[in-house]
Structure formats: structure tokens, C-alpha cells
Amino acid sequence: MRLRIPLGAADLSRTRFAVSPVYETVMALAVLRRPGVHAVHMPWATWARPRLRDIDGLPMLLALTARDDFKPSFLMPPPDARLPDLDTELRRVTATPATRARGDVARLHSHAVAEFAADPRRWLPRVTHALRECFERILEPHWERIVRVLEADIAHRAGLLAEHGFDGLFAGLHPEIAWSEGELVVHPQRTAEARVALRGHGLILCPSAFCWPRVTAGVRPVAAGTLRYPARGVATLWESAEPTPAALADLIGRTRAAILTQLARPHTTTDLAHALDITAGAVSQHLTVLREAGLVATHRDGRTALHLRTARALSLLE
């Protein structure tokens, strides 16, 4: 469905960025359901799938999130802070009014969802428990790394906003987002259309690891609207390579250690050269060695190459 989101002065003044651990958990389950659609996460999916056994409430949670084109909004509350903690978001899910929960699931059709709709107050704590267990088992071991990528995206977008205004911010957000004359259009090529009313509450821009490669938006926001889009550098999250002994021997040195320290978040070669006060050519040579050792992953975003240290590098540093 094509979504039209008018952004008046009040909405633009309240537009902000945020990250949602509960949303990432819901979308991580969608990745596990259809990993072929989210191929960039295949290494993680192989690791994560066996870790979801024996979770109370998980069958109901999976039934509620089964549709690829629709997820109940109460499972994905708009973040009330830049990086809300998991407990805060889960409390909001549990506190969902029964009438709203029933309305959210009205588009779903299954025996399990009918059971939920009959008694939301009974099921909400169990669904919340399942969300917590899923996060702790399959996301928390990687959460610091995921947040680094999401925060790096926010920093990049904030720079675009400061330099080019909202035109520059929205222009490169996602190929399925168009911005013209004070209106965002999500999925502009689709035929069926809906208008999203923000009513001055603003828009929350949420970079996401697990919504890749798609973009989504809340259709009927209760307060602030949400626009979720794939973060830059997601392709570097799970990349690794088997190191060779020669490459690991070449790794020893202060400059390469400094590069790994800088790559706690994605950087370009130029960024690293400025930060370390060395030439871009020297940085490129060191990055080549680090990549061969399986300690750095590089992802191209248009003409820009973003570098991020791998999980192996983090283990080495620790």
C-alpha cells in the first residue's frame, strides 16, 4: 500500500530518531520465518534458530506476527526515548488496553489469534514474556554490535539534516521513500493508497537491522508516527572470514590496533585517516591486512565504503 505522510511544521519540529529493541525482536522473528527474504541475516539465522526452543507464549507470539505485510501495532510501540531499555518497552506492550489489542489483531485470522482476542489480558503477559526470552536468547549476545550500527546510521542522518535540511535527510533514506512539498510517500509505486495523520505529534525515524531490505510505517499512529528503515552498514553485521596465520602475524602494530578501536562504529577510509592523522593510502593498506585476518568487514553504500570490526575483532580486543 502507498502511504502518504504529510509533515507540517509541528510534525517536522517533533521529528526525531530512535532505536527499539522490541521492534528489532519482532522483526528478527520475521527473519527466522522467511530467511530467504532477508538474505543478509542468513549467518545469524542459522545460529539463532535452535535457541528458540521451549519458550512459553512463543507459539502465540509467532501467530500474532505471522503475516509478512502486517504486524499488530501494540507489539511495536513507538520509542519514547532515543534508545529505550527493553523493560520499558515490554511494560508498554503488557499495558495495552484490551480493546486496542483486539482491534490490532482483527485483520489476522487463525485459531490462536481468536484465542488471544477472546482474552487479551490473559495473553499479553505471556506474549511479553516470549518477547523478552527471544531478545535475551537471540539478540542480546549481539546487541552491543547491532546498536553501534544503528547509532552510526543516526549520526550520519543527523549530519545530513544539519547540512542539507529535511530534503537531504529524506532523499537518501530508502529507495521506497519519496519526499516532495512537505509530504513523505512510502512505497510510491503501489496502487492502493492510505493517508497517515500525525496530528502534530511528529515522526520517529527508526533505523533497523532486521527490517532489511524493506521500509515500514505505522498506518494509524496513536501518537507519534514511526518510519522504520534499514540502517546503513547492516551487511557488515555478520561478515567474517577465516584468518590466515600470516595475516594474523602482520596484524601486530599500534596503528592497526587504533583502527580496530575506531571501528567500534562504521567509518570510511577518510574518517579513519583524519582520526589517526595518517594518509588514506596507509589506512587502506592496514584495512587490507585486517580484512584478510577476518577482523574488519567492508560494505559499499553507493560510492562510499564503510568499515566495521567483526565479532572476531571484538573478542581479540577483549
Nearest to 75 by CA among 64, 86, 88, 60: 64
Question: Do 156 and 178 belong to one domain?
Answer: yes
Question: Do 222 and 261 belong to one domain?
Answer: no
Helices (H), the chain: 9-13, 21-33, 42-48, 58-64, 86-94, 98-104, 111-118, 120-134, 143-171, 245-251, 254-262, 269-276, 280-292, 311-317
Domain of 247: which CATH number? 1.10.10.10
Question: Do 154 and 263 belong to one domain?
Answer: no
Q: Of 206, 234, 262, which closes a domain?
A: 234
Q: Of 187, 219, 234, which closes a domain?
A: 234
Question: Do 222 and 250 belong to one domain?
Answer: no
Question: Do 85 and 182 belong to one domain?
Answer: yes
Where does the pLDDT of residue 169 fall: very low under 50, low under 70, confident under 90, or very high at 90 and above?
Answer: very high
pLDDT number for residue 219:
85
Question: Do 71 and 94 belong to one domain?
Answer: yes
> Tens digits of per-residue pLDDT, 228-262?
999 988 877 887 644 555 665 577 688 888 898 88
End-to-end alpha carbon distance in the chain: 47
> Tens digits of per-residue pLDDT, 107-151?
888 888 999 999 999 999 999 999 999 999 999 999 988 998 999
Question: Do 158 and 301 belong to one domain?
Answer: no
Nearest to 1 by CA among 167, 207, 176: 176
Question: Do 20 and 150 belong to one domain?
Answer: yes
Question: Do 227 and 288 belong to one domain?
Answer: no
Domain count, the chain: 2
> Tens digits of per-residue pLDDT, 43-90?
899 999 999 999 999 999 999 999 888 899 999 999 999 999 999 999
- On the CB side of 211, how many CA atoms lie within 13 Å of its CA? 25
Whole-angstrom distance, CA of residue 283 vs CA of residue 248: 17
State the average pLDDT for the chain.
89
Nearest to 316 by CA among 236, 262, 261, 237: 261
Whole-angstrom distance, CA of residue 28 vs CA of residue 20: 12
Nearest to 141 by CA among 238, 63, 226, 64: 238
pLDDT number for residue 233:
84
Whole-angstrom distance, CA of residue 194 vs CA of residue 5: 9
Question: Do 122 and 254 belong to one domain?
Answer: no
pLDDT at 13 over 90: yes
- Residue 76's domain spans which residues? 2-234
Whole-angstrom distance, CA of residue 214 vs CA of residue 199: 26
Question: Do 119 and 251 belong to one domain?
Answer: no
Question: Do 286 and 209 belong to one domain?
Answer: no
Count CB neighbours of 158 within 10 A: 13
Classified as helix, coil or strand, 85 is coil
